[in-house]
């Protein structure tokens, strides 16, 4: 088996701000596996809050390239690399390769019939006026995800709600509130019809959520990286956000799905930006989720060939085999 590891920086249309971080480019790493003429691909961004970047992901993959070339299984990938971007790119490339080698789609491998997904469109932190204008520009998207910090969050939400009274809104605080702020803001958030608050408190600082009954459902993002963190997160949150860059690929993502299904826990699929090649394996996870966030390509100046189609109503087409799976 041959492995090719490449850095693919993808230009964003404009900078995108969240609590504590601003994205100026989508600096992806692409893994291509080739075996007897069959090709599988995977892409990752890694997770910035674990100090991952393209250089660190490439270094991790290069360190394990020798056992990969000897042939590797999905089970072996989980032991070969820790959670994060490197394992995600390799894991997803191997899923794609297995589909191509077997002549069976990922959907056939998993015995599911894919349905079209409706993604949110995400609005980054800006002035209330600019965020409201972004909401209007996303008029074809019935669901919006609003990035917030501790700086005038309700003022921003009120401006967006005025601009889009029709939209289903979720908010993502990216660890930006304290527990006291969460309790202070939640009544207003509820009055504005917000359906979920994602990651309000810092990772490692959300113990106070155990036993707390929020009138607006709470979602775990940074507080649940992989399946090993699921049980703790499930005691504190109503919804678990699965991102393949966090957990280390589709294999681990499906493991979290099974745990959540066992407990009747809500699920969300998210992304760290990236091209349609990053979104395609996440599309599989999205089949099991109530909240869909696979809008990364919307922020790119140019997506890759054979890209997903983002249509009216936020409907995203099923990936074609030429893209992945």
Catalytic residues: 147, 243
**b/e string for 153-187 if b means 16 or more Cβ within 10 A?**
bbebbbbbbebbeebbbbbbbbbbbebeebeebbe
Whether 138 and 127 have beta carbons less than 8 Å apart is answered as no
Whether 26 and 45 have beta carbons less than 8 Å apart is answered as yes
Torsion sign over Cα 228, 231, 234, 236: negative
Spatial distance between the Cα atoms of 72 and 223, rounded to a whole number of angstroms: 30
What is the SS3 assignment for 249?
A: coil
Residues in the chain: 325
């Amino acid at each position: 088996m041959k492995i090719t590891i490449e850095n693919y920086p993808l230009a964003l249309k404009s900078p995108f701000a969240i609590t504590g971080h601003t994205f100026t480019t989508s600096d992806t790493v692409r893994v291509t596996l080739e075996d007897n003429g069959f090709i599988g691909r995977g892409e990752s961004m890694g997770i910035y809050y674990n100090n991952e970047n393209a250089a660190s992901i490439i270094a991790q993959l290069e360190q394990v390239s020798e056992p990969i070339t000897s042939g590797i299984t999905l089970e072996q990938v989980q032991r070969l690399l820790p959670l994060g971007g490197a394992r995600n790119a390799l894991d997803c490339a191997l899923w794609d390769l297995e589909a191509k080698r077997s002549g069976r789609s990922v959907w056939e491998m998993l015995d599911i019939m894919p349905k079209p997904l409706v993604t949110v469109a995400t609005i980054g932190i800006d002035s209330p006026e600019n965020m409201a204008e972004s909401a209007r520009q996303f008029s074809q998207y019935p669901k919006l995800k609003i990035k917030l910090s501790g700086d005038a969050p309700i003022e921003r939400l009120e401006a967006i709600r005025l601009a889009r009274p029709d939209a289903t809104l979720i908010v993502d605080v990216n660890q930006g509130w304290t527990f006291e702020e969460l309790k202070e803001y939640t009544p207003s958030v509820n009055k504005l019809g917000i359906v979920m608050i994602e990651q309000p408190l810092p990772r490692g600082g959300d113990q106070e959520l155990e036993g707390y009954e929020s009138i607006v459902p709470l979602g775990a993002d940074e507080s649940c990286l992989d399946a090993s963190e699921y049980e703790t997160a499930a005691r504190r949150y109503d919804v678990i956000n699965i991102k393949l860059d966090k957990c280390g690929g589709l294999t681990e993502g499906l493991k979290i799905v099974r745990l959540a299904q066992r407990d009747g826990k809500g699920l969300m699929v998210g992304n760290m930006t990236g091209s349609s090649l990053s979104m395609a394996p996440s599309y599989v996870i999205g089949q099991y989720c109530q909240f869909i966030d696979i809008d990364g390509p919307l922020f790119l100046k140019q997506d890759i060939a054979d890209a997903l189609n983002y249509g009216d109503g936020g409907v995203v087409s099923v990936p074609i085999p030429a893209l992945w799976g």
